[in-house]
Structure 1
Amino acid sequence: MEKELVLVTGGSGFIAVHIILKLLNQGYRVRATLRTMSRQDEVKAMLTQGGITDFSKLEFIQTDLTSDRNWIEAVDRAEYVIHVASPTPATRPKDGDEMVKMAVEGTLRVMKAAKAAGVKRVVLTSASGAVIAGNKAHSGLFTEEDWTNLTGNIDAYQRSKTMAERAAWEFAKKENIELSAVNPVAVMGPILGKDYSHSNQIIKAMLTGKMPYLLKIGFDCVDVRDVADLHLLAMTRTEALGERFLATSGENLTYKQEAEILQKSLGSAAKKVSTKEMPDFFIKVLALFKKDLRMPATFLGQNTACSNAKAKKLLGWQPRSAEEAIIATAKSMIDLGLTEE
């Protein structure tokens, strides 16, 4: 019997490609949305890098989070929807409010189309940014019970993720549609092409010597392969219905610890990696002028450690170590020639 059709939105993204890879390997049919159809070959190249040779169960459709066009067609005959597409720090609009609007409206577009098509369940790719941000006084591990404090000093990306997830839960409750959410922390792991997460850019900056001084902040890490696994568990398991899951290895590493892992594991390939840290007040001043520092600067002095107990206990999820994920990021970047600058 042929397996169900799964719609994956934002099909060219780092997490989405790994989800598509898992789905195809498990025999599902996949329809992936793209903003520009010219990226089909790029997605197929990334999947080929991941070991896929047969594309007969994969199709593409053009959609955009900012338009109603093609969403009804996109969900047609789909049993499940995995909604990954969202503006990220790499693709963000200049205006923060525009980023929030795009994320919230895009999520509601997908939810409405899924409801109209009678989709069995939607899995939303949210983020730890919808859990931990703006909670300066939080001690102990963050859990799925926690939500980002929208009144705190937070970046538009965290605001967009929080408000989009809130909107999805409200819609699911009101319209009686099955929903689960996955909230990944900093996503590392094997890169399959030029599209990779903003967390991976830190590793690239370290390897290329573009980070001579490190911020004194730490984040949990998780391997993208484990994030993909958790999405499939959230999609199929009855225990996941109506639940959100933090996707983390359960290890909170500072940038310095990440740099030390690279030095220890990569030898001469890590010769440009620095372990020098910069004082917080310098970062705060620099963030006034350097846009790429603004988001990380909001986490200075904040605990960001998250628990993975719920996903492990409810779904039997078993993530790799943070070290394995970081080394996989670095080695795949080196293999793909992305560090030759």
Structure 2
Amino acid sequence: MERVLLTGVTGYIGQHCAAELLRQDYKVVGTIRSRAKADATRIAIAKVAPVDGLSFVEADLLADKGWDAAMRECTFVMHVASPFALGEPNNENEMIVPAVEGTKRVIVAAQGAGVKRMVLTSSTFAIIAGKDSGRYGPDDWSDLTARIGAYAKSKTLAERAAWVAAKAGSMELTVIAPGAVFGPSLGAKMEGQSVALMTDMIGGKMPMIPDMSMGMIDVRDVARLHVKAMTAVDAAGKRFIAASAEPIEMATVAGVLKTAGYFRVPSRKAPTILLKFIGLFDREVKGMLPFIGRAASFDNSATFDTLEWKPTPIETSFREMAAAITA
């Protein structure tokens, strides 16, 4: 069995990546900052996959200790871990430094261990942030001169650093850039910003719907694309958009949920001027503002052609995510 080092194994996307790898008979070494999370993560993944090939190692993105040992005998690396919060931090470096320095640290250790290929989880925010509505592809980058928010900036800088670092060695690099990710969480403790967003929508904590449209994808598709990108011959050195070609409005999400019986989901769209005012006091709303009223479509043809993507219907993702939250 080939061994894969997976960072971010305790997270929403990371747990699904681990499950998909284990189902495909890979051994998975998941990095965790504390052993305290190991048991809960194993139990969560065991719901959908065999876990005999799952092990854990302590390693922190902000420290060198543990990475060389973690990489030992690994053929591949999936670098999924990255801080993500919709709300703006008091200091953008709280998000940027771990993302950028952590990515560099993982790549250096992987290159030193002779890893064949690394799959990096980026974001469509690294492609569209700071841009007007329009159509974008894998060769596009966010505008770092615009006010794009700490998360989008962290993903852009981390991915750019990864491409530079990868060129310094022989290890192959492939990037998956997901849009907004929906679908059921495996963990008993529901984590992740899309999970929090869905929880607020169905729980009546979101009084109005923000005027946001995003490319979207099911979390299980994200995991399958990561695994496929790890070995697909033509994937090396490429960046793949993991999102619907056309943006989906948050109002559409709300409509699907209402039809499914979640009656506390809001119906009214929030006026942009109101969101701008609330953003003066609310860090989460402030984090949304760069994307309010904008709609980006994507050229995701390479994802279909090279990674053989067969998308899960996104309406299914919404319903199953809501069901998992309320179970």
TM-score, normalised via structure 1 length: 0.92
CA distance in 2, matches of 1:94, 1:192: 31
Structure 2 residue 142 is matched with structure 1 residue 144: no
Contact 2:87 2:286 in 1 (8 A): no
Please give the secondary structure, in 1, of the residue aligned with 2:181. strand
Could you tell me which residue of structure 1 aligns to residue 304 of structure 2? 312
Q: Could you tell which deviates more after superposition, 9-18 or 247-256?
A: 247-256
Could you tell me which residue of structure 1 aligns to residue 30 of structure 2? 32
Q: 2:114 aligns with which of 118, 121, 129?
A: 118
Could you tell me which residue of structure 2 aligns to residue 214 of structure 1? 209
Contact 1:124 1:182 in 2 (8 A): yes
Could you tell me which residue of structure 1 aligns to residue 266 of structure 2? 274
Could you tell me which residue of structure 2 aligns to residue 248 of structure 1? 243
Say how many residue pairs are matched: 326
Contact 2:30 2:55 in 1 (8 A): yes
Shift of 1:48: 2.3
The 1:319/1:263 distance shift into structure 2, 3 A limit, reads same
Q: 1:185 aligns with which of 179, 183, 190?
A: 179
Shift of 1:92: 8.2
Shift of 1:197: 2.4
Deviations 1:263-318 (A, max 9, x none): 11x22xx1111111111011011001001111111112222222321100122111
Amino acid at match of 1:154: I
Q: Could you tell which deviates more after superposition, 234-243 or 307-316?
A: 307-316
CA distance in 2, matches of 1:158, 1:90: 10
1:30-179 equivalences in 2 (<5 Å): 30-49=28-47, 51-52=48-49, 54-89=50-85, 94-136=90-132, 138-139=133-134, 141-179=135-173
Could you tell me which residue of structure 2 aligns to residue 339 of structure 1? none
Amino acid at match of 1:188: F
Contact 1:249 1:321 in 2 (8 A): no
Q: State, as a whole percentage, how many aligned pairs show the same letter.
A: 37
Deviations 1:40-73 (A, max 9, x none): 1110121123x23x43211100111110010001
Q: What is the RMSD computed on CA atoms of the aligned residues?
A: 1.5
The 1:61/1:94 distance shift into structure 2, 3 A limit, reads farther
CA distance in 2, matches of 1:178, 1:309: 22
Q: Which runs of 5+ in 1 are unaligned?
A: 336-341
CA distance in 2, matches of 1:109, 1:91: 26
Deviations 1:244-277 (A, max 9, x none): 111113342211111001011x22xx11111111
The 1:276/1:91 distance shift into structure 2, 3 A limit, reads closer
CA distance in 1, matches of 2:60, 2:88: 14
Shift of 1:93: 5.8
Q: Which runs of 5+ in 2 are unaligned?
A: none
